[in-house]
Amino acid sequence: MKRYRKILVLGSGALKIGEAGEFDYSGSQAIKALKEEKIKTVLVNPNIATFQTSKTLADEVYFLPVNAYFVEKVIKKEKPDGIFLSFGGQTALNCGLKLQEKGILKKYGVKVLGSPIKSIELTEDRQFFADHLKSIGIPVPPSGSATDLNQAQKIVKKISFPVMVRAAYALGGQKSGVAHNQKELKEIVEGALAISPQVLIEKYLHHFKEIEYEVVRDRFNNTVTVCNMENFDPLGIHTGDSIVIAPSQTLTNEEYHGLREASIKIVKSLKIVGECNVQYALNPNPKNGKLDYYVIEVNARLSRSSALASKATGYPLAYVAAKLALGKSLLEVKNKITQVTQSFFEPALDYVVVKMPRWDLEKFKGAEEKIGSAMKSVGEVMAIGRSFEEAVQKAVRMQSGHNESITDIDFKNKDEVKHFLATPTPKRIFAIGEALKGGMSVRAIRKLTGIDEWFLFRLENIVKAETNFIRHCEGVHPTQAILSQKKIVSSSRKDMAQSGTPRNDIRSSDLLRLKQLGFSDKKIAQMCGKKELEIRQMRIELSIKPSIFQIDTLAGEVPAKTNYLYLTYHGGHNDVAPLGKKAVMVLGSGPYHIGSSVEFDWSCVYAAMALKKHKKQSIIINCNPETVSTDYDMSDRLYFENLSFETVADIFEFEKADSLIISVGGQRPNNLANRLAKEGFKLLGTAAQNIDRAEDRNKFSAALDKLDILQPKWQSFANIKDAEKFAEKAGYPVLVRPSYVLSGSCMSVCYTPEQLKDFVLKAGLLSPEYPVTISKFIENAKELEFDAVAQNGNLIIYAISEHVENAGVHSGDATIVYPTQRVYASTEFQIKEISKKIAKELKVTGPFNIQFLVKDNRPYVIEVNLRASRTFPLLSKALDANFPEMAVDAFFGKAKKFEYEHPSHVVVKSPQFSFARLSGADPVLRVEMASTGEVAAFGKTYNEALLKSILSANNFDFQKKAVLLSLGGEINKVKFLEAAGALLDLGYKIFATDATANFLKQQGIACQAVKKASEKSANALEVISDKEVSFVVNLSQPRFRPVESPLKRRLTKGFYLRRAAVDNQILLFTDLHLARAFVKSLENYSMEDLEVKSYKQYFTG
């Protein structure tokens, strides 16, 4: 076995649809595995919010774009002797292929570890790969590849409709789809060819089952399949968008092992060393009773599915893959869970796992709701149970935090239900619930959906239990629906538990059965007209409590030293003993979604790790398989469970823990503060009533008034008259947002009374129960973030960062710079003083964040969050200070004031958007967040850092000196004039749309006029689709933008232009300030000027 000295690991960059937090997990595991072998590690990953980019992990971290140019620079500097390409998703793999193609790896003597690059290339070329599989006797769907529409049509003639069209070299099935006719074929092929030079067309296998295997092979040809998974949805829905169950449920021995054997054959033929994923289509009704399957896809790298498989089985795939890449055999790698067996085995599960995607399609205005072969989900949850019913109901609750059960979403009528059965959308499982409730047969649903009856029968089981229970409750107490507490307390526990007779209105046996079917206390309470706590009380009286079971990889066959746990009602014992008072529970963030991403997992992990210092043991609760916090070695105990009051309370009461930390996992755990505190659970940090004072708009406003702190004028209203009156008085524009009860996913700035009326009325936002908040929108204001940790109301550490865009762009979508660049010292001083006052008033202990608007050097407070914010990892790294650790110190009263010098470097964070994957969505910045991830870069100056940061999240070609400008409104034109001149000086060819071109020419700036995009004339669109420009600036005037009514969409010319830029992967700016800053950066820096410095170097010089 060759000894490696230093290994370069490539990360996956920002979180985006199709490439999310799972690669933080896999990269972190890989680095840990290398550290164990005492091999030096270098990581390139601009995703600053990841755990893998921590100072404590890799020896050197580079916050730089993962592309051939920068990675070559890093290789030249660091001189690694090996490189890992399979731990950073498609981004890392593509970069690796480029490095190989350019001969860079050979030039610097860097060996690709793990699977041979030839095999990776083979799996990436669909036609070659299909030929390869055929040559080893593995069936692939009849197919062909094409590079233009004509070829595509010829292929379809041969294999006939319906066909599946996929783009080669694309992330997560991007731009692929099923075509049933020529028109659809044309649409999909053209879309795919815009992002890829090649499309693969194959026979669409209607209602086949979709099955996946995760395979591991070592260089001695030892191969195991760690896990198999079955998609709930039939073939045709991307596995990332499908509900998935592990292990498969409807496969016989012959099918399971037949596909397993094929997987091993494929992996051996490719000489994979490490991990590989194989996806199959399996015929549910083979004509001759023989195994009838096709290989759909093979990923020769760690993937989202492998992260899921890893969490589902307890088998640390990424860790093992890293060891194998070094040349070890599976027999030499210890099973980390049992500590006595080794890694050559296939986990035996004694539970089932259900993965459910989390979509946020409503956050993307205009995005199509339909799901299919291109992934649209932004995150996922994983639920563990001992029956499918138990697991799937848990998953439903984990997914949104709002739905309790598959019967929780209402549909207008039967037709609507049918529509949502026939058309796959995020609502499909709820439509099934509703259809079953309405008496539709399993067979009929199967026909419409193609979902295997096995799953439908399980859902029917849930629905029937619900219906029967409701009927029973109505029968027992037709009028009175309130449980007599006394009755329960006085009746003998044993008596109730065993007799099963209706001593009360709810039978003990019924309650147990409902819990086994996965019903929450809250849902049971709703079904029988009681309160959640009454059901909880009753359960405790009856000793109906969940069992705590371990995930031990061998179904109990070997004693395991594992801390990986879940709850189930299909048990009668607990696998572990309570940790007691030395334990502190840390609540994680739940599924990644827009607004809650890897940055909260980072804080959660560091908070848990900091507990050790205070001699506490950590218990993490989280349900997101894409996280580092759910790794087996991140906490003393891990509960892969929901972040609901019921579950958290159950775990706390079982563990008899000391206290809870709810302020590091984002808004989801934070929302539990009040309830947990009310029920007497001890929360560390800021008191729940003070959290409430910050969250409740009325109370918070009163507090600010009392402290004499400015805030934008606001008011709650329940009818449109009041809203209009307020807007007249305060003056337009106004910001309108529904009460946070409705998830706050619908905000808008209104510039005119018409817009206000349109938005409020048409959106159906008004109800007396949930008033809408309206506030004065201050135009052309700056937005600043204040992030801090306090102890008993005193600041311990703080940092002020600045939005590059003006207020009006959600902080998650804004480009943020630290330290501030354009802010007066006096403003910063005021901000600090205001923050101190707020911290004092709310007696803050722990993390907090305040958002300020600044207009004319006067700061207004717009929001306070008494929890760790999205910017925590960014600032922690920028300051080289650990905010969450300091927060934990503060919880225990041990925090010391942090002194630091003004930094000599600048850090810029840029958002990552995934608009390209969401057809129909308008890629424009708004008050509502739409980005799926972020990157950050360090630099000597603001401009250098900004340029690197933008390059990290976008493709940009320095060589292609051409730009398209479309500047809406006089002000935008005037304000961009200087930048346009600068571009010209830089040698840029300027294309400009009609009015912009006229203006520029008048001002003496040479440009080529193009017709503004519209459906008819496509001049500007052609400039984009022909990739004649390297970036596009499209500025529109917000006041003329159509109001963001969820019911109404007007497609403007600007929309087509923006959409074209996004679809052709061309850098797009829709914000004046950011666009100008970018041009300024181009003026000051060429690609060669950008420094290649490691994170540590920014602190040591």
Partner 1 sequence: MQAKLILKDGTEYLGQSFGAEKPMTGEVVFATGMVGYPESLTDPSFRGQILVYTYPLIGNYGVPDKKFWESSRLQISGLIVCNYNSTPSHYSSRQTLSEWLKKEGVPGLEIKDTRGLTLKLRDHGVMLGKVVFGKNDIAFEDPNLRNLVAEVSIKKVYESGKGKKTVALIDCGAKRNIVRCLTSRGLKVIVVPWDYDVLKIRQKISAVIISNGPGDPTMARVTLDTVRKILAKKIPILGICLGNQILTLAAGGTTYKLKFGHRGQNQPCVLSGTKKAYLTTQNHGFAVAKIPNGFKEWFYNANDNTNEGIIHKSLPVMSVQFHPEAAPGPTDTDWVFDEFINKLR
Binding site for partner 1 (CB under 8 A): 220-222, 224, 247-253, 256-257, 260-261, 264, 284-286, 289, 329-331, 340-342, 344-352, 386-388, 452-454, 457, 516, 547, 549, 554-559, 570-573, 575
452 vs 813, beta carbon nearer partner 1? 452
DSSP SS3 for 203: strand
Q: How many residues in total does the chain contain?
A: 1101
Rounded CA-CA distance 246/255 in Å is 15
137 vs 1004, beta carbon nearer partner 1? 137
Rounded CA-CA distance 1099/877 in Å is 10
Rounded CA-CA distance 916/1064 in Å is 8
548 vs 927, beta carbon nearer partner 1? 548
Instruction: Sort residue 1077 into left (φ over 0), alpha (ψ -120 to 50) or beta.
Output: alpha
Rounded CA-CA distance 194/1062 in Å is 11
Q: How far is the CB of 756 from partner 1 (least distance, A)?
A: 54
Q: How many Cα atoms sit within 13 Å of 325 on the Cβ side? A: 36
511 vs 673, beta carbon nearer partner 1? 511
The residues pairing with 245 across neighbouring beta strands, listed in sequence order, are 230, 354
Rounded CA-CA distance 221/714 in Å is 68
Q: How far is the CB of 383 from partner 1 (least distance, A)?
A: 14
Rounded CA-CA distance 221/202 in Å is 31
171 vs 548, beta carbon nearer partner 1? 548
Rounded CA-CA distance 45/27 in Å is 10
Give me the sheet containing 714-717, strands edge to edge.
714-717, 772-776, 734-738, 748-750
153 vs 341, beta carbon nearer partner 1? 341
Rounded CA-CA distance 333/324 in Å is 8
Rounded CA-CA distance 928/811 in Å is 9
548 vs 1067, beta carbon nearer partner 1? 548
Q: How far is the CB of 516 from partner 1 (least distance, A)?
A: 8
Q: How far is the CB of 606 from partner 1 (least distance, A)?
A: 34
Q: How far is the CB of 109 from partner 1 (least distance, A)?
A: 28
Rounded CA-CA distance 531/101 in Å is 64
DSSP letters for 97-128: HHHHHTTHHHHTTPEEESS-HHHHHHHHSHHH
83 vs 384, beta carbon nearer partner 1? 384
Q: How far is the CB of 557 from partner 1 (least distance, A)?
A: 6
349 vs 584, beta carbon nearer partner 1? 349
Q: How far is the CB of 453 from partner 1 (least distance, A)?
A: 4
Q: What is the DSSP letter of 901?
A: P
221 vs 485, beta carbon nearer partner 1? 221
Q: How far is the CB of 97 from partner 1 (least distance, A)?
A: 31
Which residues, including other chains, have CB under 8 Å from residue 1088's CB and lie 6 or more apart?
A: none
Q: At what angle do helices 117-124 and 89-101 cross, to 10 degrees?
A: 110
Sign of the torsion formed by the C-alpha atoms of 1006, 1007, 1009 and 1012: negative
Burial pattern 671-693, b for ≥16 Cβ within 10 A else e, equals: bbbbbbbeeebebbbbbbebbeb
223 vs 871, beta carbon nearer partner 1? 223
Q: How far is the CB of 260 from partner 1 (least distance, A)?
A: 6
256 vs 359, beta carbon nearer partner 1? 256
Q: How far is the CB of 517 from partner 1 (least distance, A)?
A: 11
Q: How far is the CB of 318 from partner 1 (least distance, A)?
A: 21
Could you give the C-alpha distances from 293 to 239, 248, 627, 786, in angstroms and in order?
A: 17, 15, 33, 57
Rounded CA-CA distance 727/78 in Å is 59
Q: How far is the CB of 221 from partner 1 (least distance, A)?
A: 7
Q: How far is the CB of 648 from partner 1 (least distance, A)?
A: 24
464 vs 1048, beta carbon nearer partner 1? 464
249 vs 821, beta carbon nearer partner 1? 249
Rounded CA-CA distance 735/1015 in Å is 32
Q: Which residue type sits at 574? A: N
**618 near 612, Cβ under 8 Å?**
yes
Beta carbons within 10 angstroms of residue 757's beta carbon: 15
Rounded CA-CA distance 701/94 in Å is 51
Sign of the torsion formed by the C-alpha atoms of 569, 570, 574 and 579: negative
Q: How far is the CB of 447 from partner 1 (least distance, A)?
A: 14
Could you give the C-alpha distances from 282 to 207, 231, 287, in angstroms and in order?
A: 9, 11, 12
